[in-house]
Structure 1
């Protein structure tokens, strides 16, 4: 579904409250009954029915009367909720063209208040080409039921946490700015995907990539999707790594296999697509990194700090200590937990709305689990 933000400027206050009420109702309902939407939104004179019809015309909600009369959010409606929260916080002021499409995300250019062009990634788990997420990712953990919107929210929170931590650790990644629901706001990198580049010095770029794979393993992480589509290269040949929700710990049962798969993917691309055979380049200090040698390094383990998939149970105490220390250092930005509250008085918002707009500026999956299974 195409993202048309023009409708957002004409969305009335009551319609926004109703849309948010549907989101809150989906904590415990796949299809939210109309009386529950009415109760949460708290509009006077039966205004919820009128607002639901308006939202339905704009394809922000889906109507289902198979078992009872109810509504649920559409991906476009979820987009609007995320955009409204980011605009209310002053993080963005305009949405531009779409610059990227993936099997599980869309990327758009956006502007902030200073006129700086940023990138906004909207996670789209549940597309036809990505239906095996339950087997490939650990978002569900012990749960049997799920919502694609909720899984997209978890993916966004996980990616933001990894991007922020990797940036602090000195890895060449986009600067993580903000996230809300399934949207991640980051700096726009002036580079193009490796698959679209003709390299003047492929040996230098190849060595950068091998070093990056080894450095990630030394920090306790395996990217798991290290390929020519997730690597950006600028005019100077410097590389930037993107796309992090699938990263796992080096303690994962399949970590070494996934590590070797990342390496093989780069070797195969350089050999078959670029005609550069690393084994024939005698100037390289080494052809490919070794998993055991990389993980034997004494570097700080980011997998423990971020609770990466596959980290061992004995790491839990260290993780708890890290989270406690982080909570002691990080203070609320402005004393308010919700961008929506900045836009209007607290007594005019539907009950429970503040929790659905929290950005969780440094949290991973653990932060989302405290809010319940919200789409």
Structure 2
């Protein structure tokens, strides 16, 4: 997929639209992002999911990640627990308007986290259901999610646990956010030793409804992942380090 596809929309690209990957409004939003010099062309797929697909984007040869939220498959009841009680966003409106709020929420959360020093992709722009952010990878190869990396490739699991705990602590204490979906699926490993937290649409303000429950779930997932390396943390220990202690 390149810039000329957005201009001419050949049959191959139209088939992708019919399959639900894009719609005409999303194509129009991509064109607008090009006019705004946020991207100047699009590349291949980085990842696909139920709620969103992520593609390579380019601006003057520099790689960026372009996340496009799927309007038809994003469910209201899946979003509601993470957005209720957040004064920054509203839940009423038609389905596409709710998805636009969801994309905006990830953009705002990433901005808070990035400026707090949490290792996350840098957000550049959100428009409708499209979020443009920095590309995390090794040259042109996308970084692998932690779940795709075998245990024997993790040379220093104790150091990795420290890096991730530092990020979760800074996220909570400085950005005042709870990730709310922390797991090995939402960590990208650059060069296998630089973890980046991703997927922030569901992240909640730390004083928001359900934040404590989500934080406990994040801590449980942290403990569950590292137990296979023989690192025996308790949920209470992880919670204490995130909320008040030194990781």
| Fold equivalence (TM over 0.5) | yes
Give the whole-Å Cα distance in 2 for the aligned partners of 1:257 and 1:183: 29
2:40 is matched with which residue? 93
Contact 1:95 1:109 in 2 (8 A): yes
Deviation at 1:77, TM superposition (A): 1.4
Q: Name the CA shift for 1:92/1:138 in 2 (closer, same or farther; >3 Å).
A: same
Partner of 2:140: none
Which of the residues 225, 237, 242 maps onto 2:193?
237
Displacement after TM superposition at 1:165 (Å): 2.2
Partner secondary structure for residue 243 of structure 1 = coil
The one-character-per-residue Cα deviations of 1:144-178 (angstroms, maximum 9, x if unpaired) are x522x222211121111121222122111111122
Matched, 1:256 2:212: yes
Task: Determine the C-alpha separation between the residues in 2 that align with 1:163 and 1:203.
Answer: 26
How far apart are the structure 2 equivalents of 1:180 and 1:142? Answer: 18
Give TM-score scaled by structure 2 length.
0.79
Q: Quick check: 2:114–2:120 contact (8 Å CA) kept in 1?
A: yes
Residue equivalent to 2:144: 192
Quickly say closer, same or farther: Cα 1:252–1:131, change in 2 above 3 A. Answer: closer
Contact 2:180 2:203 in 1 (8 A): yes
The runs of 5 or more residues in structure 2 that have no matched partner are: 138-142
User: How well do the aligned residues superpose, as a CA RMSD in angstroms?
Assistant: 3.1
119 and 209 in structure 1: CA distance in 2 versus 1, 3 angstrom threshold: same
**Which entry has the higher C-alpha Rg, 1 or 2?**
1
Work out the CA distance in 1 between the residues paired with 2:61 and 2:2.
21
Structure with bigger strand share is 2
Structure 1 equivalent of residue 183 of structure 2:
227
Q: Structure 1 length normalisation: TM-score? A: 0.54
Q: Deviation digits for residues 8-31 of structure 1, max 9, x if unmatched?
A: 3127xxxxxxxxxxxxxxxxxxxx
Aligned to 2:155, the other structure's residue is in SS state coil
Does the 8 Å contact 1:211/1:289 carry over to 2? no
State the alpha-carbon separation in 2 of the partners of residues 117 and 263 from structure 1. Answer: 33
Query: SS state of the match for residue 173, structure 1?
Result: coil
Give the aligned partner of residue 41 of structure 1: none
Is there any run of 5+ residues in structure 1 with no aligned partner, and where?
12-56, 62-73, 281-285, 298-375
2:217 is the counterpart of 1:217: no
Q: Does 1:136 align with 2:72?
A: no
